[in-house]
Structure formats: structure tokens, C-alpha cells
Amino acid sequence: MEKINIKRVLEWSKHNRNTDIQAVVSYVRLPLMDLSHLLQVVRPSGIIDPNELLDAIEAQNASKYLKYRAALWSEENVSIEKFHSHTTHGEYPAQLLSGDVISHDMKKGYTRHSISETNGNGIMVELGTICLINHIKIFLWDRDNRAYSYFVEISPNRIQWDRVIDYSHYHCCSWQYLYSEVRAVRYIKLVGTHNTKRFMHFIGPQFRTVVVVCTSVQPNN
């Protein structure tokens, strides 16, 4: 998005040479551009003060939460097909976002990953676009008396990951209602750390922004 914005600003500046370009440039979020674009496209244009470029690069390296442009669908579950979301990691990926949380059994109706010491990517969901999220709802397979431990990480770019939920020291089961601060999110990792049966089974996760934010919620155990 920012590459498109700066391209439009450059085109606009060619036809408005007597106008204060800085008033327009201020709307471009430079820290969201990759380093090569800043140095090879933005810098040669001469429309950005060199100190601003340095500030943008510093923000990329130092800031954990950049100001991403994100979509907001209040109270909507953005993991459904309508929003072009899909599962990128996990066994039986098509099952995860099907919306069916009833007809699961020992052989179908869930997405799973093998629990290991390294954990790996676990199960990963890619949303159709960057969205504002503060609520995740997950169903843990519950056809017997097993319990799960897990954590949830989110990222806008698959580079910077933030662990918003860590229940790796809890024994959890059935529905999980998870809350955090509102974040700009494109990727969600659901990673199991313990289960009495070696596999982590997730069913029907939902990702949305809700009006009420709770930042300290205990897991369902």
C-alpha cells in the first residue's frame, strides 16, 4: 500500500511543482516500506528529507508495533471464506475454517499438528488482508478427556511475531475465548505445546474485533 501511495505522490509532485509537497508526503507511512524501496526509489526522488528516511529505518528496526493500515469489520469473523482467509500450515487445512464445529470425530472435522520440542509453525492462518483483531475464539477437540496446552502468536508480515496468548502451562479444553489489545494482524499461529495424545487439534477458530476488550482472561480448563 505505501509503495502505491509514494508512487502517486511522486506523480502528483511532477504536476504540482509550486505546491508544498511535504503536506502530502506526511500521509505516507515510510516505516512500512522495505529498505530497498526506501533507498532505491524514495531517496533518489529527493522529496523526502534524509533525516526522515533515517527515522523510518530506525523505526523499522526498533519499533515492535508499526502503524499498519488495517481493515476493521467490527464483530465480524474475518477467518471465513468471505474475507479470503485460508490455512497455510497444519494437517487437514481445509477443515480449520469450514465453520463446522459440531460434526468432528476421531477421523475428521479438525486441523492438527504434531507437538514437538521445537513447536515449529504449528497451525497457521493467513487472513485475506491485514485486519484489526482483539478477540480469538478457538474450539479444542473434546471427544475424550484429553487436555491441551498452547500459545497464539500474531503478525502483520510473517517477520515480527507477537505472542498474545500463552497457555503453555495450563491444561485447556473445549471452547477458548481469548482477548488481547487491538492489533493489526495478517497471520495467526496456533501452536500446541502439550497434549496427552501427542497431536494438537484445533477446530473452527474465529478472529474478530469486539467492543469490550479484556486483557486478563484465564483459559477454559
Q: Which residues of the chain have pLDDT under 70?
A: 1, 63-64, 93, 95-109, 117-120, 196-200, 202-205, 209-221
Mean pLDDT in the chain? 78
Same domain, 125 and 24: no
Same domain, 128 and 203: yes
In-domain check, residue 40: yes
pLDDT at 152: 93
DSSP string over 59-111: HHHH-SS-----B--BT--TTSGGGT-EEEESBSHHHHTS---SS--SSSS-E
pLDDT at 4: 74
Same domain, 130 and 200: yes
pLDDT at 154: 92
- The predicted model scores a pTM of 0.73
In-domain check, residue 105: yes
CB contact at 8 A, 150 and 167: yes
In-domain check, residue 54: yes
Q: Rounded to the nearest 5 degrees, what angle is found at the Cα of 157, between the Cα atoms of 217 and 59?
A: 95
Range(s) of the domain holding residue 111: 76-216
pLDDT at 109: 63
pLDDT in tens, 1-60: 677 777 787 777 777 777 777 777 777 787 777 788 888 888 888 778 888 888 888 887
In-domain check, residue 70: no
Find residue 99's DSSP bridge partners.
none
Domain boundary among 29, 62, 95: 62
